[in-house]
Amino acid sequence: MAKSGRYSADRKKIESITASKTVEVHDCGTLFFIDATNDVTVTMPAIAAAGNGWWCEFHLGTAVASGKSVVINLATADGSSDANLIEAADSGSKVSATNSDLTLATACPIGTKVVYECINGKYFIHTTA
């Protein structure tokens, strides 16, 4: 006889972003779907506040509109800077990291995914486009 698991054992937290947003520590594990028809700025929690094991994902639910961008900014209240960003996968010219910002430009298609993971005092960024 097969065992039956709980149907919601891997249920994810889902949230839509249609305007600027500050991601909070309690948003750990959330999948954010971004409507990129307008400019969107997302501010991440400070690394010290997030702590080891904190993570979230961003998915483009719409392609980035012409002349618009999605900027994911690392909060710098704890002294975090681009030195604390490690891009683990390169998506070519569609995604760029400068200073404390990760920018998804017009070339980013629907389905582009960015994963932030906080490990040992740094944000590791994985991107796919």
Q: Per-domain residue ranges for the chain?
A: 13-128
Distance CA 60, CA 129 (A): 10
CB 41 within 8 A of CB 20: yes
Four-way CATH pick for 13-128: 1.10.10, 2.60.40, 1.10.3470, 2.60.120: 2.60.120
> In whole numbers, what is the pLDDT of the chain averaged over residues?
80
70-80: average pLDDT: 71
pLDDT at 122: 78
- pLDDT band at residue 97 under the 50/70/90 scheme: low
Q: Is the pTM of this model over 0.85?
A: no
Tokens read off for 58 = 């961003």
Per-residue model confidence as pLDDT tens digits over 7-42: 666 788 999 999 999 999 999 999 999 999 999 999
